[in-house]
Structure 1
Amino acid sequence: MTVTSLAIPPVATWHWLRGLVAARSAAPWPPPVRAVLFDRDGTLIHDVPYNKDPEKVEPVPGAKEALDLARRAGLRVGVVTNQSAIARGLATEAEVAAVNARVTELLGPFDTWRQCPHGTGDGCDCRKPAPGLVLQAAADLGVAPEECLVVGDIGGDVAAARAAGARGVLIPTPRTRPGETAGVRRAAGLEEAVRYALAGGTGAVSWHE
């Protein structure tokens, strides 16, 4: 018993020190948001189905201001977008690239662009709600998926975020189906979404689960 009693203080101290080191080295959870990934059509710009004309690109109100807010705060910004017009033969990759270039011209530079050119039946892993676009964009930016916030206007955007381990925010529009708003975090607009990211990606006033 004496030997055991003498051994307890050093062992207890060792466990305490190990716990202290682990606690200090552990990353906070959830981690801060370092990147915001935006859907394109219906989120950053008005949705023109299968658009291949750069002249039809029109940003939604407040898009430039919200993006500039994110950039000034040091957040990386990117676009993750489904573009099945390519698979359907309704637009070429060059035409979609021209539309993307117009978006950049109007809204400023993005740190990454990731798009899925496939159709719904192609079985790819990039078309939202699959996680591929989010994972690719996170890798481009050198951040972990859980450090990303995905902002979109339909349930597939939020589902892609969840599948990738990122956080998601829905900005409902007339295109958003009623069932897609249930159980997801929502924002009234892009600025609110960005401010949520700046707050660390945790609950805030006017957000709903």
Structure 2
Amino acid sequence: MHRAVFFDRDDTLIKNIPYLKNEELIEVPPGIREYMSRLKKAGFLLFIVSNQSGVARGLLTPTDVAKVNRILLEKLGRTFFEKIYLSFEGPSQEINWDRKPQPTMLWTAAQEYNLDLKKSFFIGDRLADVLCGRNGGCKTIFIDWGRKDLDAFISRKLATFIAGSLFEAIEMILAPLNR
């Protein structure tokens, strides 16, 4: 079985621009390629797991989301991610089968890629990310951007680890492997 690292997309891998359609606004953090390479060399499979409710709200199309994701992967310069899992459901829909915090996207990845979720990590900046990872059986790393809202407060309490940046989160994953 494989270990994985699941990444939220917006405000984790890239700056959150609500309902992002304009690929020119995608900013990839400098140095991210090195960190992704280190995770891959350590044997982790990498995935993006993202709610894109703008589709359900009529503000984006699946094609808009696919275009942004394609450009994101191109800007990384290499194929680091095995797959991108997306939920187009909106938060107000009656039934949310795959929208985070439901772990459906993680369970699907586990089946498709023979993953051991107990040895895997979920990195994100919202309570939905922390709960998705926990609900799926992963260790969770909350990226604490210093928000003072209830979402961030609860995330700090429930996450396995708290990091101040994406790079710090990745270092937390790699640190036990470097001992």
TM range (shorter): 0.7 to 0.9
Give a deviation string over 1:139-177, Cα, whole Å, max 9, x none. Answer: 232212212200001111011111111111011125573
Instruction: Give the 3 Å change call, closer, same or farther, for CA 58–173 of structure 1 in structure 2.
Output: same
Secondary structure (helix, strand or coil) at the match of 2:35 reads: helix
Secondary structure (helix, strand or coil) at the match of 1:76 reads: strand
Instruction: Give the 3 Å change call, closer, same or farther, for CA 72–176 of structure 1 in structure 2.
Output: farther
Alignment of 1:47-62 (within 5 A): 47-62=16-31
Q: In structure 2, how many angstroms separate the alpha carbons of the residues matched to 1:102 and 1:176?
A: 32
Q: In structure 2, how many angstroms separate the alpha carbons of the residues matched to 1:51 and 1:148?
A: 28
Q: In structure 1, how many angstroms separate the alpha carbons of the residues matched to 2:13 and 2:56?
A: 22
Give a deviation string over 1:164-195, Cα, whole Å, max 9, x none. Answer: 11111011125573413224220122233223
The answer for the alignment partner of 1:194 in structure 2 is: 170
TM value normalised by structure 2: 0.85
Alignment of 1:54-133 (within 5 A): 54-107=23-76, 108-109=78-79, 110-122=81-93, 123-133=95-105
Structure 2 unaligned regions, length at least 5: none
Residue 154, structure 1, aligned to residue 126, structure 2? yes
Decide whether the 8 Å contact of 1:42 with 1:173 is kept in 2.
no
Secondary structure (helix, strand or coil) at the match of 2:14 reads: coil
Instruction: Give the 3 Å change call, closer, same or farther, for CA 39–92 of structure 1 in structure 2.
Output: same
CA RMSD of aligned residues (A): 2.3
Secondary structure (helix, strand or coil) at the match of 1:182 reads: helix
TM value normalised by structure 1: 0.74
Q: In structure 1, how many angstroms separate the alpha carbons of the residues matched to 2:43 and 2:13?
A: 19
Q: In structure 2, how many angstroms separate the alpha carbons of the residues matched to 1:143 and 1:49?
A: 31
Secondary structure (helix, strand or coil) at the match of 1:88 reads: coil
Name the aligned partner's letter for residue 105 of structure 1: E
The answer for the alignment partner of 2:106 in structure 1 is: 134
The answer for the alignment partner of 2:136 in structure 1 is: 164
